[in-house]
Amino acid sequence: MNRVQKRAFTRWSGSDTDVVVAYFASWVRGERECGLPVIADIVAFKKRHPDISCDWKTIRNKVLNEKMAFAKRKRLQLDSLHF
Write the pLDDT tens digit of every residue in 5-40: 777 788 999 999 999 999 999 999 989 888 899 999
Q: How confident is the model at residue 1 (pLDDT cuts 50, 70, 90)?
A: low
Who's near 12: CB < 8 A, 6+ residues apart?
Answer: 20, 62
Tell me the pTM: 0.84
Backbone torsions φ then ψ of 17, nearest 5 degrees: -60, -45
